[in-house]
Structure 1
Amino acid sequence: MTSLVYINLQDTDYARSIVDAIVQDNPHAEIQHQPSMIRIEARGRLDIHRETVEQLTGSPWDIQEMLMYVITLGGNVVEEDDSFSLHWNN
């Protein structure tokens, strides 16, 4: 059985645009809206792509800026110039 990876973001306008990009790139992801927090989880892997975020926001995306809104995450992090990924080594 593949384990869940997850990322919890503060519920802000900026974070909601990131969530929209995550959903677009990861249709298998499940979104949970909780008080002042959005939890995104998926089996095995979750990818956030710069191109998708920039298309949805209309502005350049700095992955480091997103990290200011992260509450917690679960999975191994792979951070590249153009993407941020969570996965487990199964």
Structure 2
Amino acid sequence: MPDLLIRDLDPGLRRQLEERAKAHGRSLSDEAKSLIRRSLAEPTEAGLGTRLFSLLPDTARSDDLEFDVRGGGVEPPDFS
């Protein structure tokens, strides 16, 4: 099975990884594999619109959002 070598790992990051491994009862290598596996299983990052929508409170999340448009009542042009 192939190996993966990670060079110049920040000491703080290694310490966090060691703490997580200890908390989960895993070796450092098994914890790293678990984190990589979980990260790759997640869907790709959402777009800006999706991220902004997720910031709205649940009460504002609906399909019937209304927006005030300045100068409303303007008819679209007729191109026929």
TM-score interval, normalised by the smaller of the two chains? under 0.3
State which structure, 1 or 2, has the greater radius of gyration over its C-alpha atoms.
2
Higher relative helix content:
2
Question: TM-score w.r.t. structure 2 length?
Answer: 0.26
Taking CA–CA contacts closer than 8 Å with sequence separation of 6 or more, which of the two structures ends up with the larger relative contact order?
A: 1
